[in-house]
Amino acid sequence: MSIATRTIRIGSSNGLHARPAKLFAQAVKDAGVPVTIAKGSGAPANAASILGVIALGAEKGDYVTLTAEGDNAESVLDTLAELLTTDHDE
């Protein structure tokens, strides 16, 4: 089983508030592989948890690190990276 890690810059102009956090957490659940998200040197949170994602307090321009574990970890991170770099507040 492979593990993939990627650092991504938040694109939503209001950061990871309720709407983009919900879209992101739902995409993680749909991916079917375990994914964590961490901001800076903070503890990683379950990326499928809306509350865990919001609790990071990630703002526009902040960097977060995603880690996925599974056979298709790289492709899952490709999809999630696109979600996080998109401005959902336009």
The answer to whether 4 and 36 have CB atoms below 8 angstroms apart is no
Q: Edge-to-edge, what's the strand order for the sheet holding 45-46?
A: 3-9, 63-69, 35-39, 45-46
Q: Is 88 a catalytic residue?
A: no
Q: Which residue among 17, 42, 49, 81 is the active-site one?
A: 17
Q: Quick one: which of 20, 25, 19, 26 has its CA closest to 37? A: 25
Extended beta strands in 2-41, E state = 3-9, 35-39
Catalytic residues, by residue number, are: 17
